[in-house]
Amino acid sequence: MACATKSSLCLYLTLFIVMVTISSPVSAQLSVSFYANTCPSVFDTVRTAVRSAINREARMGASLLRMFFHDCFVNGCDAGILLDDTASFTGEKTALPNNNSVRGYEVIDNIKTQLDRACGGSVVSCADIIAISARDSVVELGGPSYSVPVGRRDARTASRDGANSNLPGFSSNLDVLISQFSNKGFTAREMVALSGAHTIGQARCVTFRNRIYTETNIDSAFATSRQANCPQAVGSGDDNLAPLDAQSPNRFGNNYFQALTNRRGLLHSDQVLFNGGSTDSIVTTYSNDATTFNTDFSNAMIKMGNLSPLTGTQGEVRTNCRRF
Ligand code: HEM
Ligand SMILES: *[C@@H]1O[C@H](CO)[C@@H](O)[C@H](O)[C@H]1NC(C)=O
């Protein structure tokens, strides 16, 4: 740059560049050492709490993983999903994909209380607690570990419309899934890797009824066995649960992809990933190669955690995760 000479113009130019760099919100970065001084036990505390929540109920690991996805896909990873509706506020919690479906809110409240005690005050954001809990859940259930940079802050807003429009639905076709993930910056391959989260957890009859009674790209023995606990009549047994991955619903692995290649995907949106379309080869790869799946899943999770976080002085660190 034309700044080789020792002029005052040069000094001002340098100062200007430094100030723009410091103040620009887009340059704000999450970092694993963000709480190194203010709450050094953050990762230990969350890991221990997630472990005991999963020991109480194995499914909780899946629920916390899903909460992270549903938080990050709506206005970024900002804990918007945790805000309770009030008389004057309507948030994401009661949006269609979340209402009576996303779970684990008490676990997050409990972790927040423990962290505030361990760190001598409200230091760690609810958004970071969700992100760390998702990773720890994956690890606790036998999946890969990956780093969770932190320093997110909590939103003072939430968007029900955003939740209803950005979160994928169980009857979506492949082109819709590809485009919804592409809207958030993910490739089709990353979308398939992230869908591998369905290696754990449960779904309600109401989300797979149509598939097990009317679809033809389904293993017939599998359909019959799922019908036993999910009556065809709309409104009967709607909340009955079935594992998204029948083989090992509490063990994180690549069985989900093997199930898809055998036409044993539970949701319509699962089986479309392997139904003669452009993502078949990715499903085949993951079904044969757990290491590649683990690597791709980890990288995509880190990427998800970077979806427009609030940093610096944006938003706040909530004291109660349910209220701003
Ligand atoms: C590709 C589009 C996706 C669709 C259409 C979808 C849809 C669903 C549906 C309908 C359920 C069952 C909800 C219920 O019955 O209440 C579910 C459960 C679940 N989803 Fe997804 N999902 C998708 C992607 C993801 C991603 C990217 C993740 C995480 C990275 C994820 C994690 C989970 C988990 C872990 C569960 C089980 C939760 C529990 O047992 O509490 N899903 N999903
Ligand atoms: C959410 O679920 C509750 C309880 O089932 C129900 O009363 C309420 O109407 C639902 N809210 C929305 C917005 O669908």
CATH number at residue 178: 1.10.420.10
The ligand whose atoms approach the alpha carbon of 268 most closely is 1
For 113-119, which contacts have Cβ atoms below 8 Å and span 24 or more sequence positions?
114/45, 114/49, 115/39, 115/42, 115/45, 115/46, 116/319, 118/39, 118/41, 118/42, 118/45, 119/35, 119/38, 119/39, 119/41, 119/42
Task: Note whether 151 and 192 are same-domain residues.
Answer: no
Distance CA 319, CA 122 (A): 6
Return the pLDDT at 2. Answer: 40
Query: Do residue 53 and residue 133 come from a single domain?
Result: yes
User: Is 76 annotated as belonging to a binding site?
Assistant: yes
Domain of 96, CATH number, reads: 1.10.520.10
Looking at residue 294, its amino acid is N
Q: Are 140 and 48 in contact (CB under 8 A)?
A: no
- For residues 97 and 155, state if they share a domain: yes
Nearest Cα residue to atom 13 of ligand 1: 203
pLDDT for res 29: 87
User: Do 65 and 159 sit in the same domain of this protein?
Assistant: yes
Same domain? 218 vs 181? yes
For ligand 1, whether the C-beta of 177 sits within 6 Å is yes
13 lies in some domain: no
Helix (H, G, I), strand (E, B) or coil at 277: coil
Q: What is the bridge-based pairing of β-strands 202-204 and 241-243?
A: antiparallel
Tokens of 119: 């760190």
Residues sharing a CB contact under 8 Å with residue 27, sequence separation 6 or more, in sequence order = 21
- The confidence score (pLDDT) of residue 122 equals 98
Reply yes or no on whether 70 is catalytic: yes
Q: Are the C-beta atoms of residues 246 and 229 closer than 8 Å to each other? A: no
Tell me whether residue 88 is exposed, middle or buried, using C-beta atoms within 10 angstroms of its C-beta: 0 to 12, 13 to 18, 19 or more.
exposed
Tokens describing residue 265: 């995907």
Query: Looking at the domain assignment, is residue 221 inside a domain?
Result: yes
Structure tokens at 45: 């505390």
Q: Is residue 265 assigned to a domain?
A: yes
Q: What pLDDT shows up at residue 176?
A: 98
Global model pTM greater than 0.85: yes
94 CA from centroid of ligand 2 (Å): 6
Is 280 marked within a binding site?
Answer: no
Distance 199 CA to ligand 1 centre (A): 10
In a domain? residue 27:
no
Query: Which of 70, 152, 160, 318 is flagged as catalytic?
Result: 70
Three-state SS for 203? strand
Question: What is the residue with the minimal CA distance to atom 12 of ligand 1?
Answer: 203
Indicate the residue among 137, 152, 167 that finishes a domain: 167
Domain that holds residue 241: 174-303
Q: Identify whether 188 is part of a domain.
A: yes
Residue 19 β-bridge partners: none
Q: Mean pLDDT of successive 10-residue segments in the chain (324 residues)?
A: 43 40 52 98 98 98 99 98 97 98 98 98 98 99 98 97 98 98 98 98 98 98 98 98 96 98 98 98 98 98 98 98 98
One domain, residues 162 and 197: no
Asked whether residue 321 is assigned to any structural domain, the reply reads no
Same domain, 190 and 157: no
- The verdict on the CB of residue 161 being under 6 Å from ligand 2 is no
Q: Decide whether any atom of ligand 2 lies within 6 Å of the 113 Cβ.
A: no
DSSP letter, residue 251: S
**249 in a labelled binding site:** no
Are 130 and 247 within one domain? no
> How far, in Å, from the CA of 59 to the mean position of ligand 2?
23
Ligand 2 centroid to Cα of residue 184, in Å, is 27
Cα of first residue to Cα of last residue in the chain, in angstroms, is: 46
Name the residue with the closest Cα to ligand 1, atom 24. 195
Query: Are 195 and 139 in the same domain?
Result: no
Q: Does residue 199 fall inside a structural domain?
A: yes
User: Which atom of ligand 2 has the smallest separation from the CA of 95?
Assistant: 13
Q: What is the DSSP secondary structure assignment for residue 86, as one 8-state letter? A: B
Mutate to test the pocket of ligand 2, among 100, 103, 105 (most ligand atoms within 8 A of CB): 100
User: Do 136 and 192 fall within a single domain?
Assistant: no
* Co-location of 101 and 145 in the same domain: yes
Domain tally, the chain: 2
Structure tokens at 49: 């709490």
Whether the CB of 195 sits within 6 Å of ligand 1 = yes
User: Of all protein residues, whose CA lies closest to atom 1 belonging to ligand 1?
Assistant: 195
